[in-house]
Amino acid sequence: MRISELQRKVLLVLSELEARGHDSPLPVMQLLKLLNSASSKDIYDTNLRTSLHTLHRNGLLHKYRNASLNLAFSLTETGRRRAAAIRYELVL
């Protein structure tokens, strides 16, 4: 699967949060705020949701709903490996 720039950012952000000890699924709107705070261009919520669902369909993310039915995501083992590969590419 080809990963878009937005999908790469999502994997890296979720991976970094896990490395810092945040092990619970991250709600979509919190993820959107994190991505927009680090980007010069705003990311639209519909684009983010589409990217998240694509990553989920391809086995890179787990999808959750909390009691309020808010959508949240976390990395799968495959997603962690892909994020590590992306991070390695950035170092080179």
Count of CB atoms situated within 10 Å of the CB of 10: 27
The tens place of each residue's pLDDT in the chain, 92 residues long, gives 899 999 999 999 999 999 999 989 999 999 999 999 988 889 999 999 999 999 999 999 999 997 788 999 999 999 999 999 999 998 87
CA-CA-CA-CA torsion sign (92, 7, 82, 25): positive
pTM, to two decimals: 0.92
